[in-house]
Each structure stands twice: as C-alpha cells, then as structure tokens.
Amino acid sequence: MPADRREPGQLRNWPDKPGDIRSMNIRAAREVAEIVRSTLGPLGMDKLLIDDDGMGIVTNDGATVLKQMAENPVLTIVRDASRGQESAVEDGTTTTAVLTGHLLAEAEGLLAQGVHPASIIRGYETALERTEVILREAAVTVAPADIDTLRDVALTAMTSKGVSSNDEVLADLVVEAVERIADEDGFDTDDVYVEKEPGGWVEQSSVASNVMLDTGRASAGMPRRVEDATLALVDEDVEVTGLRMDSSTSVADGATAESLRESDRRSLDGLVDSLVDLGVDVLVCGGRIDEQVRPALDGAGIYAAERVDDETTTQVAGASGATVVHDARTLEPGDLGSAESVMELLVDGESRTSVEGFADADVVTLVLRGSQMNLLEELYRALEDGLEAARLALADGGVVPGGGASELAAARALRTFATGVEGRDQLAVDAFADALEVIPRTLVENAGRPPLDGIVALRSAQERDGVRIGVDGHSGEPVDVVDSGVLDLFEVKEAAIDRATRAATTILGIDDALPTDENAE
Ligand code: ADP
Ligand code: MG
C-alpha cells in the first residue's frame, strides 16, 4: 500500500489545489529546520527526544534528532539529505537540515509574490553554482606541517559532539597521527587504528606504532618473543580436517583407526611443515587453533595467537602487508606480512600480544584511554570526526573560515552577482543569499544574542574587516574566526549547501500528490 494512502475519513483534509500540497510540504520542512536549529554550533542546546516507548534520549546532534522524528515524506527528504551528508563527510548534518528549511521559507515568500516555482528552482540552481565558486575561492589549502591549522579544524569539527572537556586531548591525538603518517597527498583514515583501552584517564591516551592483540600466546610452549617476524593471518579456525584422535571416536576396526591416525599425523605435519617452509614464525588466527595443532606449532617455534577479533586482524594485515586467508593450508608467500617484533606482554594482569615495527611505516595506533567503555565509544566517535576533518583539510578542498563567516561572505557576494541575473530568477538568487545567512544568525541566537542586531553587526564588521569575520560561538559577537581557530572544511560546507539545495528544490518541485485509487475510480 502506498505510504500516502489515506483513510476515507481523512480525505476531507486533502488539499484542493496543487499549491496547497507545496505549502504543506514547505511548512513541514520548516518545522524540521526549526527543531534542529537550536542544536547548531558550540552552544547548541541538547534536545530531549521521547520515543514510542516513552524512553528519553538527550542529544545535541542534528542528525540524531532527525533519525528519531516520526515518519513523513518531507521529513524523509530532509533526513536523507542530512544522512547523506553524514555518511559522505561525517559533519555538517545540522547545517544541511537548517539550510533546507530556510531555502524553503524564502521560497514561500517568493511564491506568495507570484514567482513561479520553476523560476525559484532555476534561481536556486544558479545561486548554488555561484556559491560553490565563491567558497572555493575563499578556501585555503592546508599542508601536513600546518599543525595549528589542523588542530583547529579537528577541534571545530568535534564541536557539539559532547566531548568538550576532552576535545583538546583528542585534537592532540589527531595532530600527532597526522604528523606521523601524512605526506603531501594527505593520509588515509584507514591507516589510523584506534584502540579503546578501558581504565585510566583520557589524558593518558597515547600514540603508538604497535598493534595490540587482546590475547597472548596460544600455548606456553611457544616463544615469548619473535624478532624480525614473518606473519600469517587466518580468520577462521586452524585445524586439520579429519583429525579425529579424541576418545569419543569409535572405530571398530583397529587397523582403520591406525591408518586414520597416520593420515591425520601426516596432514598435521603437512600443515606445520608448510608454515615452516614459508618462513612463518607468527600465526594470528581469528578462530580457534585446534588443541592438536598447538604442540606442533610449539615444536616448530611458531608464536600463535588465537581468537583475535576481525578488526584487529585487519589492522595487523594493513600494517604488516599480509593478506588474511580463511584456511592456513592455502597460504602462499605473497600472503605473508612482516613486523620487527612480536611479543607477549602482561597488561593489567592479562596476557596480550604486541606487534610492532611494521613494514608499512604509514600506520599509527591511537590508544584511547577512559574510565568506561561508553565514554570510550563517545570519544571514539568524536575522534573519528576529528580525523576525517584533518583528512579533508589535507585533501584538495582545504578549509574556509567557520562561525558562519563563509556563509555571510557568500551571501554578500551572491547579492552582487544577483544584479546580473535575468528576470525573476534574480529574486531567487537573492533569496538564496538570505537563506545562507541563517547559519550565522543561528549561531548568534544560540549564543543568546538578539539575532537581528547580531547579523547587522556582523555584516558591517565583514564590510570593514573582510571575510574572516564570523560569529564567536560563545559570546555571539563578531570575531576574526581564523584567529580564534574556528575553521570549517570546504568540502563539508560545499556538500551541505549542495544537499540542502537539492532537497529544497525537490520539495518545491512536488506540486501535487494524488490521492490513491479510491478516488481515481
Ligand atoms: P553541523 O551538524 O552542521 O556540523 P554543528 O553543531 O557541528 O553542526 O555546528 C557547526 C557550525 O558551528 C559551523 O558553522 C561551525 O563553523 C560553527 N562552529 C563550531 N565551533 C564554533 C565556535 N567555537 N564558534 C563559532 N562557531 C563555531
Ligand atoms: Mg559539526
């Protein structure tokens, strides 16, 4: 059944004129924007959401707010835009939703003046294209050596992720990771491994070049330490098929039992021999290592760790250059990796394995410390955003002034540009500029200042001192945001404006929603 199918009783609420559907949709999108708006920026308010079961959750992340809101077709469009933003660049989700709502609010004004929706859509598309050019011109590229800039970018991106008391520590970790592994092409976030280590203080988090496995040696007969290690990684059990030496097996015929045992022996020897031939001295196994196999590994002087989780195995693979295989018997020389040393350590009374000195020097492990796992998870999510921000800053786009400075500057440039646009599209370009200003205005408002005075003060400060003037997120006053270290990513901003424009024009383009078959018949 189509989602918009209505009960007969509801039909009298069905709008008579096509335009009514559009204004209903616009109103819905504006309401969504209004709800998430108060979460924007460093002083964004927490929202208390109540789900169907009456459970409350507190969040100040716009995307989370949207995820929790009840179903409705317009909400779906806004939410998809916001979600797409999150999965693409992990930031700018609130901006996307707020801007969508305000592009529609401005459009509503134009519709009331009799401007045709097609003209608004065209004007918005022209304005979007122009805004991208303006932003790109304003963007500054960042080099790995610009440590202070990278730190600022990471800190700004972690704003409103609920980790404000620890954000400095996290930003330092981001910067240290970047210093170790970034080159002029930037770095790959997959090369940064994050280990969550419960216990201790967040300040004790550190950067390491090893990967820790949460188990030690599979048996005490294995070496405690292997230097210059050749690693094999297997993600399933290591066993010898047909190995049936346990007493539960009853084989009537003694001779058959003997020959079975003999062939098992051979396949076991074959497995271990082939590991030895390959030069493997460390075996990292995702599954179990069969009890029968362990003594043979001991005998061959192979260090083996079992039940290593997939994530850790993947890290070791990436760092050591090894390929993870399912079955130890299919290992080939090309699957093996290397590390300077592998050793068993006792950490808080637990046996662990430390693998260090990798072939690929461009990987780093961030060891996050924190009292509890849920704190660690929260820190981890923020850290991921900080890392992604640093990555994007080093990628082509670079950074733009934050705190609404770029939106305000783009709005000013767009208004000048609009004078050259033909016909009624010009009005839409102007409206687009007005909508962009919702970002600085909201930051002023969320800092507790009157929005109108704030925006006027900002405009004249920018007029006087240039595009680096934005909103101080705490006082709501105009400030040089570059000096105060509030930097946004070009790519995040461009993507947010692009997604918002597309969501708004999609909603504007819906001029009618036909009631279902009952009426058609
Ligand atoms: P989003 O989901 O859109 O990223 P945020 O709540 O993270 O929403 O807010 C992002 C906005 O807040 C950006 O415009 C950014 O420039 C601004 N911002 C972040 N930190 C500050 C700050 N300290 N002062 C002023 N503005 C800030
Ligand atoms: Mg953000």
By the 8 A CB rule, do 95 and 439 touch? yes
Please determine, for residue 31, whether its predicted confidence score (pLDDT) is greater than 60: yes
What is the Cβ-side half-sphere exposure of residue 207, based on CA atoms within 13 angstroms? 17
CA 245 to chain centre: 49
- Which one of 204-208, 237-241, 324-328, 432-436 scores highest in mean pLDDT? 432-436
Looking at residue 195, its amino acid is E
Using CA atoms, how far apart are residues 485 and 218, in angstroms rounded to an integer? 50
* Distance set, CA 263 to CA 67, 114, 299 (Å): 59, 88, 19
> Closest ligand to 485 CA?
1
Mean of pLDDT values over 66-87? 80
pLDDT at 439: 98
Rounded CA Rg of the chain? 30
Query: By CB neighbour count within 10 A (0-12 exposed, 13-18 middle, 19+ buried), where does 114 fall?
Result: exposed
The Å distance, Cα 160 to ligand 1 centre, comes to 8
Using CA atoms, how far apart are residues 39 and 60, in angstroms rounded to an integer? 5
Percent of the chain with pLDDT over 70: 84
DSSP string, 470-483: EE-TTT--EEETTT
- What's the DSSP call for residue 278? H
User: Assign residue 301 a region: left if phi > 0, alpha if psi is -120 to 50, beta otherwise?
Assistant: left
Q: Is 180 helix (H, G, I), strand (E, B) or coil?
A: helix
Please determine, for residue 3, whether its predicted confidence score (pLDDT) is greater than 80: no
H or E element, residue 478: strand 478-480
Percent of the chain with pLDDT over 90: 59
Please tell me which residue, 269 or 483, carries the higher pLDDT value. Answer: 483
Q: What are phi and psi of 147, to 5 degrees?
A: -55, -45
**Ligand 1 atom showing the smallest separation from residue 488 Cα:** 16
pLDDT at 145: 92
**Ligand 1 atom showing the smallest separation from residue 93 Cα:** 2
pLDDT at 8: 43
Using CA atoms, how far apart are residues 428 and 123, in angstroms rounded to an integer? 5
The Å distance, Cα 95 to ligand 2 centre, comes to 8
By the 8 A CB rule, do 158 and 90 touch? no
Reported confidence tier of residue 51, pLDDT bands at 50, 70, 90: low
Q: Is 141 helix (H, G, I), strand (E, B) or coil?
A: coil
Using CA atoms, how far apart are residues 215 and 354, in angstroms rounded to an integer? 9
**Ligand 1 atom showing the smallest separation from residue 439 Cα:** 14
Query: By CB neighbour count within 10 A (0-12 exposed, 13-18 middle, 19+ buried), where does 372 fall?
Result: exposed
Nearest protein Cα to ligand 1, atom 27: 403
Active site residues: 61, 93-94, 385
Residues in the chain: 521
Name every residue whose Cβ is closer than 8 Å to that of residue 166 and which is 6 or more positions away in sequence: 202, 379, 382
> Closest ligand to 61 CA?
1
> Closest ligand to 497 CA?
1
Segment among 21-30, 46-55, 264-273 with least mean pLDDT: 46-55
Pocket test for ligand 1, best of 35, 38, 40 (most atoms within 8 A of CB): 40
**Ligand 1 atom showing the smallest separation from residue 155 Cα:** 20
Nearest protein Cα to ligand 1, atom 23: 473
Ligand 1 shell residues, CB under 6 Å: 39-42, 44, 62, 91-95, 156, 159-160, 402-404, 439, 443, 471-473, 486, 488
**Ligand 1 atom showing the smallest separation from residue 443 Cα:** 26
Structure tokens belonging to residue 168: 């400095």
Please determine, for residue 268, whether its predicted confidence score (pLDDT) is greater than 60: yes
Using CA atoms, how far apart are residues 478 and 408, in angstroms rounded to an integer? 12
Strands (E), 303-462: 303-305, 324-325, 337-347, 350-358, 364-370, 399-401
The Å distance, Cα 41 to ligand 1 centre, comes to 4
Q: Is 129 helix (H, G, I), strand (E, B) or coil?
A: helix
Structure tokens belonging to residue 448: 């507790």
Give the tens place of pLDDT for each residue, 283-322.
999 999 988 899 999 999 999 999 999 989 998 998 899 9
Using CA atoms, how far apart are residues 304 and 83, in angstroms rounded to an integer? 42
Give the tens place of pLDDT for each residue, 472-485.
999 999 999 999 99
Pocket test for ligand 1, best of 153, 156, 392, 438 (most atoms within 8 A of CB): 156
Helices (H) and strands (E) in the chain, counts: 17, 16
The Å distance, Cα 487 to ligand 1 centre, comes to 9
> If you average pLDDT over every residue of the chain, what do you get?
86
Segment among 49-53, 220-224, 470-474, 515-519 with least mean pLDDT: 515-519
pLDDT at 1: 40
pLDDT at 4: 45
pTM of the predicted structure, to 2 decimals: 0.78
Mean of pLDDT values over 18-35? 84
Q: What are phi and psi of 282, to 5 degrees?
A: -135, 130
Using CA atoms, how far apart are residues 403 and 439, in angstroms rounded to an integer? 8
Q: Of 233, 217, 213, give the one whose Cα is nearest residue 225.
A: 217
What is the crossing angle of helices 93-112 and 18-37, to 10°?
140
The Å distance, Cα 155 to ligand 2 centre, comes to 10
Give the tens place of pLDDT for each residue, 381-440.
899 999 999 999 999 899 999 999 999 999 999 999 999 999 999 999 999 999 999 999
Using CA atoms, how far apart are residues 322 and 501, in angstroms rounded to an integer? 45
Using CA atoms, how far apart are residues 302 and 345, in angstroms rounded to an integer? 17
By the 8 A CB rule, do 42 and 160 touch? yes
* Distance set, CA 176 to CA 144, 148, 179, 366, 456 (Å): 11, 11, 5, 9, 40
pLDDT at 12: 43
The Å distance, Cα 10 to ligand 2 centre, comes to 40
What's 160-172 look like in SS3? CCCCCCCHHHHHH
Q: What are phi and psi of 504, to 5 degrees?
A: -65, -45
